[in-house]
C-alpha cells in the first residue's frame, strides 16, 4: 500500500495522513528494508 501511494506520486506525509496508526519511523524502516531487498535482488541477477 505504501509503495503504491509513492508510485502514484503521493508523498510520505500524504500517505501517513491516510494511515494514522502508522508511525513515520515504521514507514521509513519499511522503505529502507525494501530498498536493501531490491539491491540484493538486483545484485543476484547481475551475478547469475
Q: How confident is the model at residue 48 (pLDDT cuts 50, 70, 90)?
A: low
**Residue 4 pLDDT level (bands cut at 50, 70, 90):** very high
Q: Where are the domains of the chain?
A: 2-46
CA distance linking residue 30 with residue 35, whole number of Å: 9
Q: pLDDT digits over 5-33, tens only?
A: 999 999 999 999 999 999 999 999 999 99
Question: pTM for the complete prediction?
Answer: 0.79
User: In this structure, what are the phi and psi dihedrals at residue 33, rounded to the nearest 5 degrees?
Assistant: -65, -40
Amino acid at each position: 500500500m505504501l509503495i503504491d501511494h509513492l508510485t502514484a506520486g503521493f508523498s510520505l506525509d500524504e500517505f501517513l495522513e491516510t494511515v494514522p496508526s502508522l508511525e513515520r519511523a515504521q514507514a521509513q524502516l519499511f522503505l529502507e528494508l525494501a530498498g536493501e531487498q531490491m539491491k540484493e535482488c538486483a545484485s543476484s541477477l547481475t551475478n547469475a
